Amino acid sequence: MLESLKKYYEKQQFYPDVLGLFINPFYIARKELLKNIMSLADEINGLAVDIGCGNKPYEKLFKVSSYIGIDIQTSIHNVKSFADIFYNGKTIPIKDKQVDSIICNQVFEHVFEPNLFLSELNRVLKLGGKLLITLPFVWDEHEKPFDFARYSSFGIRYLLEKYGFEIMVQKKTAGDLTVFAQLFNLYLYKLVYRKHSLLKKLVTFFFMTPVTVLGIIFRKFMPRNNDLYLDNIILATKINNRS
């Protein structure tokens, strides 16, 4: 029974349904990510490599011939990562032009040398291969001290095009009132979550859930503001070999 509840709780962190409103402090952010990744998942095929894979939360969404998780070797990731391969953060341990698809979910903010990283992505990806990335625009510092950057939609587009990628789809998540609801909940999370296990559940239920619900309701009556949003979602194709 307890094991089943634990698995359900873990599922709600990345695949939140209605009950996720009551137990997931990141409900809005994760719901938006899930929706957008699902909409693009069919573009990912063949040999897929998930770089910065963590616990591979979205692996089951991709219908691929092979799925390999790669993560950087740090004290944070060694504990919770489901990586098949650990690497040093510089040279991806894959031969040139071997990969059909690359997934980078909430990774770019942790990349200290984006030029080197994008050069490596280009190197291992086949010409015409797909790159699916998600990255935050507005979010708190996390996984310290390995949090290095935030990218605007224009900044990440510039870097991708510089390294031989063509943008096929570019989206922004929560460009409405829900961005404020999520950031308020994030503020509460940082205040109580890592200090009091019981308190965090009570705060989620009595404070975060109403804020989330109100944000979702009132977004219907207010215009979007695509200049203020949570995450960038990008699907790109490799069109040139760059280094």
Residue with tokens 């219907």: 220
Angle of helix 114-124 versus helix 153-162 axis, rounded to 10: 50
CATH of the domain at 106: 3.40.50.150
169 domain residue, yes or no = yes
Tell me: pLDDT of 243 over 70: no
Tell me the residue range of the domain where 62 lies. Answer: 44-138+145-176+230-238
Q: Are 58 and 37 in contact (CB under 8 A)?
A: yes
What's the mean per-residue pLDDT of the chain?
92
| Statement: the pTM of the whole predicted model exceeds 0.85 | yes
109 domain residue, yes or no = yes
Per the structure, the count of domains in the chain is 1
Closest CA to 168 of 127, 131, 124, 135: 131
Taking only the tens place, the pLDDT of each residue in 225-238 is 999 999 999 999 99
116 domain residue, yes or no = yes
pLDDT at 149: 96
165 domain residue, yes or no = yes
Taking only the tens place, the pLDDT of each residue in 10-61 is 899 999 999 999 889 999 999 999 999 999 999 999 999 999 999 999 999 9
213 domain residue, yes or no = no
Which stretch, 87-91, 145-149, 163-167, 200-204, has highest mean pLDDT?
Answer: 163-167
Query: In whole angstroms, what separates CA 106 from the centre of its chain?
Result: 3
160 domain residue, yes or no = yes
CA dihedral 7, 84, 118, 144 (to 10 degrees): 50
